[in-house]
Amino acid sequence: MMKMNHLKPINIMKRPILTFSLVKKLMFLIMASFLFACNNPQTNNEGLNQFAEVKYNNRLPLDSFAVAIQHYYQLPGLAVAKMNSSGIEEFTITGKNKTQNGVLLNRNSKFQIGSCGKSFTALLVATFVEDDTLNWDTKISDVFTDMQIYKDYRDVTLRQLLSHTAGLQQFWTDDEVFNIRNTISGLKGSTVEKRKIFTQWNLSRHASFSPGQHHYSNGGYIIVAAMLEELTGKPYEKLMEQRVFRPLKLNTAEFGYPFLADSTQPHRHMNRNEAGTGITMDAQTRMPDPIFNPSGFISLSIEDFARYVIFHIQVLKGAETVINSRVVRELFKPVIRIDNNNEIGMGWQIISVNGTKTYGHTGSDGTIRSAMSINPKAGKAVVFATNIGDQRSEQALINVILELLNL
């Protein structure tokens, strides 16, 4: 992959940028961000192209566009791929694993994709629907038959959990995620045991919202995983490996942050110095408990990320796939309509951008940023990953999706 390191970084500190609130609204309208999704978006979806500051020239290699994006938005590292139903058209990786004493990223670099992992959890559930172990309307009470469940939750289904319409506490703030033991006392044992304790704690309480309303909840996905663990006696992570990673040949996929075992992998950046350079975070700071893996802590290479999305392009086209495409297509069916005619599926959002319907999701824990977006009408898709999670990385993400999908 070509690296155009002769280009000079552009310091956008000197240029006008979007306000934080506007960026958050725009991001939700494209897909839902992990942990910090906007709850009541009001921004119109039309005319978003004004936010594509860096233009894509399809007569040039994708490398040149990616390097321009990386430099303009001052990203430590960046990986981008564009795909169609037949495969990967182009992919590129540029930049370094960290801003201080970093090494160049390469095709073996694994990027944390945050809440894009929610679609993986939804796909895992689809494999149980395929073999008739579950159906989309299986209730929590059907699985946890001996658990004390508050009346508001007894009839909540997998469909509601996967579409954020179960009425559950959201578990998206820093305190709820990184200090979860302050919220739920007695949260200890194995990860499987902790997920069941988490589930019991949530289901024994009054509903935070009315079931049927849309309120983005990481907690719902933990409960989905606990249901699968209750049914099978196997950890969610093992089920994901057996039923999704292996069949889709996602050989680089793993849970957590790969840099903990391999220092050459992408490190995290949350804040910047006065020059706009990302500040590499301490390895042990801001580490979530593994119970949140079902909500979005998968890492993988940009090629495997692209292959995962190609599988879904094929599903949307009605092709025969390794996991029954008829079952998987249910993930893309709207469960609830939100503002501006946008809709929520199971693990996916259905978003109209400038009159074009797209399917996608984004992910961020504040230290990384990822996105996947499919334009089914054109049969095109794009994936994006960077190792910084601030406002400018959001702008870069919007820029890349709008330009590469011609939205």
Q: Whole-angstrom Cα distance, residue 385 to residue 370?
A: 4
- 71-127 pLDDT per residue, tens: 999 999 999 999 999 999 999 999 999 999 999 999 999 999 999 999 999 999 999
- Residue 120 is encoded by which pair of tokens? 């993986």
Residue 373 has pLDDT above 50, yes or no: yes
In sequence order, what E strands does 140-200 have? none
Residue 3 has pLDDT above 70, yes or no: no
Helix (H, G, I), strand (E, B), or coil: what is residue 312? helix
Q: What is the pLDDT of residue 34?
A: 33
**Cβ neighbours of residue 190 under 8 Å, at least 6 residues apart?**
none
Q: What is the pLDDT of residue 308?
A: 98
> Residues of the chain with pLDDT > 90: what percent?
82
Q: What is the pLDDT of residue 147?
A: 96
Beta bridge partners of 254: 299
Average pLDDT, the chain: 88
- Residue 199 is encoded by which pair of tokens? 């589930």
Q: Whole-angstrom Cα distance, residue 207 to residue 160?
A: 13
Domain boundaries, the chain: 29-36+46-119+252-384, 126-242
- Residue 223 is encoded by which pair of tokens? 């409960």
* Residues 178 and 286 sit within 8 Å (Cβ to Cβ): yes
Residue 41 has pLDDT above 90, yes or no: no
**Cβ neighbours of residue 192 under 8 Å, at least 6 residues apart?**
226, 229, 235, 236
* Residues 389 and 269 sit within 8 Å (Cβ to Cβ): yes
Residue 44 has pLDDT above 90, yes or no: no
3-state helix, strand and coil shares in percent for the chain, rounded to the nearest 5 = 40, 15, 45
Q: What is the pLDDT of residue 50?
A: 66
Class of the 126-242 domain? alpha beta
Burial 195-215 (b: 16+ CB within 10 A, else e): bbbbbbbbbeeebbbebeebb
Q: What is the pLDDT of residue 2?
A: 34
Q: Biggest alpha carbon distance in the chain?
A: 64
Average pLDDT over residues 25-47: 38
Residue 11 has pLDDT above 80, yes or no: no
Q: Whole-angstrom Cα distance, residue 300 to residue 345?
A: 24
Q: What is the pLDDT of residue 302?
A: 98
Q: What is the pLDDT of residue 38?
A: 30
> 29-36+46-119+252-384: CATH homologous superfamily?
DD-peptidase/beta-lactamase superfamily (3.40.710.10)
At 339, the pLDDT band (50, 70, 90 cuts) reads confident
Question: What is the 8-class DSSP label of residue 213?
Answer: B
- 270-285 pLDDT per residue, tens: 999 999 999 999 998 9
At 360, the pLDDT band (50, 70, 90 cuts) reads very high
Residue 353 has pLDDT above 60, yes or no: yes
Residue 47 has pLDDT above 80, yes or no: no
Chain length of the chain: 407
- 176-222 pLDDT per residue, tens: 999 999 999 899 999 999 999 999 999 999 999 999 999 999 999 99
* Residues 121 and 294 sit within 8 Å (Cβ to Cβ): yes
The number of C-alpha atoms within 13 Å of 328 and in the hemisphere containing its C-beta is 24
Q: Whole-angstrom Cα distance, residue 352 to residue 187?
A: 41
**Cβ neighbours of residue 229 under 8 Å, at least 6 residues apart?**
192, 195, 196, 235, 236, 239
- Fold identical between 29-36+46-119+252-384 and 126-242? yes
Residue 143 has pLDDT above 90, yes or no: yes
* Residues 219 and 34 sit within 8 Å (Cβ to Cβ): no
